[in-house]
């Protein structure tokens, strides 16, 4: 009998030890890796996945697509670190997140195990977004009561969502700033009761000490198929990345004009070279729309020395009523491509 009691006690001890690492959801038989931070990092700017300092700025070009993957619209969103604050004795940073590139991220902080976010509607809860340094290839982010889910104008599945992440390091990831080491975080979610997955929910790429450089967002359509919804990629940050020209204007809007009229916009400082070497622009073109033209275009190639800026003068002459959009493209010698969105309307 003593042997049986010893065996039972040993088994109970093993179960208790293993539960320190994993949480088992008996109702749904889901094994969830538990990752919990111990401390907030005192240095929020160095050796972190998202450098947090008041005034830090990231600008993203966001392309929305339809169910077929065709472009629907393009906009520019910004993420700004507004101030710091104390929540439950911990230092967090308030993030102004225009159009939610960082979904539901009102507060952020870097911890000993990575980047955490808080929603202003649930300050007692926090979520691990990006483990750093990376130690797990898969981990559980948490759950959320998601009610309702809107998809194709249909309200469905008022239910709890479980969020998960698969993570990996990429040694060389190409972007407009060059090729850099980054971390890829693949997020997916599952409705508990329906066992229905949104896979992926999003795919995010972070550069250490720079932050989010690209994001793909997904959603379910009416047939419960996961479809790409939008792509966001970093086009400017005030952080030093060995970056290209400092871009001051990302969109030129000519407003609404009447048929037969034209409108001109002169931008005195579109780009400023804030690196230490010259940058040469070898080609400037407007993407396939003759209603937008450059006025007195510069002679190419044009070299922008450190501290110098480049201005442009663009004219909009619609050929009929409707909405017009295009891209003003700048090709540089180091394979950098800089873009400015052009749009106007004619009634």
Predicted confidence (pLDDT) per residue in 122-137, tens digit: 777 888 989 998 888 8
Predicted confidence (pLDDT) per residue in 292-321, tens digit: 999 999 899 999 998 899 999 999 999 999
Query: What is the reported pLDDT for 15?
Result: 33
Does residue 3 or residue 343 have the better pLDDT?
343
Predicted confidence (pLDDT) per residue in 174-230, tens digit: 776 667 788 999 998 888 777 788 899 899 999 988 999 999 999 888 787 889 999
Query: What is the reported pLDDT for 9?
Result: 41
Does residue 248 or residue 245 have the better pLDDT?
248
Is the whole-model pTM more than 0.75?
A: no
Average pLDDT over residues 332-346: 83
Average pLDDT over residues 274-281: 84
Predicted confidence (pLDDT) per residue in 65-124, tens digit: 988 878 888 888 889 999 999 999 999 999 987 556 676 678 999 999 999 988 877 777
Instruction: Encode the chain in three state secondary structure.
Output: CHHHHHHHHHHHHHHHHHHCCEEEECCCCEEEECCCCCCECCCCCCCCCCCCCCCCEEEEEEEEECCCCCEEEEEEEEEEEEEEEEECCEEEEEEEEHHHCCCCCCEEEEECCEEEEEECCEEEEEEEEEECCCCCCEEEEEEEEECCEEECCEEECCEEEEEEEEEEEEEEEEECCEEEEEEEEEEEEEECCCCEEEEEEEEEEEECCCEEEEEEEEEECCCCCEEEEEEEEEEEECCCCCCCCEECCCEEEEEEECCCCCEEEEEEEEEECCCCCCEEEEEEEECCCCCEEECCCCCCCEEECCCCEEEEEEEECCCCCEEEEEEEEEEECCCCEEEEEEEEEEC
Query: What is the reported pLDDT for 16?
Result: 35
For the chain, give the percent of residues with pLDDT over 70.
Answer: 80
Query: What is the reported pLDDT for 324?
Result: 94
Query: What is the reported pLDDT for 44?
Result: 96
Query: What is the reported pLDDT for 177?
Result: 60
Query: What is the reported pLDDT for 145?
Result: 61
Task: Assess if CATH 2.60.40.10 describes domain 246-346.
Answer: yes
* Winning range, highest mean pLDDT, from 66-70, 237-241, 276-280, 293-297: 293-297
């Amino acid at each position: 009998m003593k042997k049986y009691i010893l065996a039972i006690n040993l088994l109970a001890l093993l179960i208790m030890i293993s539960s320190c690492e994993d949480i088992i959801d008996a109702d749904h038989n889901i094994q969830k890796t538990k990752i919990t931070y111990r401390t907030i990092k005192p240095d929020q700017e160095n050796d972190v996945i998202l450098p947090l300092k008041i005034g830090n700025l990231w600008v993203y070009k966001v392309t929305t697509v339809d169910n077929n993957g065709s472009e629907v619209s393009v906009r520019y969103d910004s993420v700004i670190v507004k101030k710091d604050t104390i929540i439950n004795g911990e230092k967090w940073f308030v993030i102004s997140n225009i159009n939610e590139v960082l979904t539901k991220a009102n507060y952020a902080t870097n911890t000993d195990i990575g980047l955490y976010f808080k929603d202003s509607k649930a300050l007692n809860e926090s979520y691990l977004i990006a483990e750093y340094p990376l130690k797990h290839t898969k981990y559980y982010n948490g759950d959320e009561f998601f009610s309702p889910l809107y998809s194709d104008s249909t309200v469905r599945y008022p239910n709890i969502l479980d969020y998960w992440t698969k993570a990996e390091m990429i040694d060389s990831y190409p972007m407009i700033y060059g090729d850099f080491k980054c971390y890829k975080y693949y997020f997916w979610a599952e409705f508990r009761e329906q066992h229905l997955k949104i896979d992926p929910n999003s795919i995010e790429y972070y550069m250490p000490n720079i932050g989010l450089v690209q994001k793909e967002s997904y959603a379910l359509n009416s047939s419960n198929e996961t479809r790409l919804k939008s792509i966001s990629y970093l086009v400017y940050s005030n952080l030093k990345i060995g970056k290209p020209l400092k871009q001051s204007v990302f969109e030129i809007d000519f407003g609404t004009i009447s048929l037969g009229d034209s409108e001109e916009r002169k931008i005195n400082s579109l780009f400023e070279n804030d690196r230490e070497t010259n940058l040469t622009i070898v080609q400037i073109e407007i993407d396939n729309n003759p209603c937008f033209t450059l006025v007195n275009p510069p002679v190419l190639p044009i070299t922008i020395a450190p501290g110098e800026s480049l201005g442009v003068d663009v004219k909009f002459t619609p050929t009929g009523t409707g909405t017009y959009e295009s891209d003003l493209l700048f090709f540089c010698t180091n394979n950098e491509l800089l873009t400015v969105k052009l749009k106007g309307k004619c009634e």
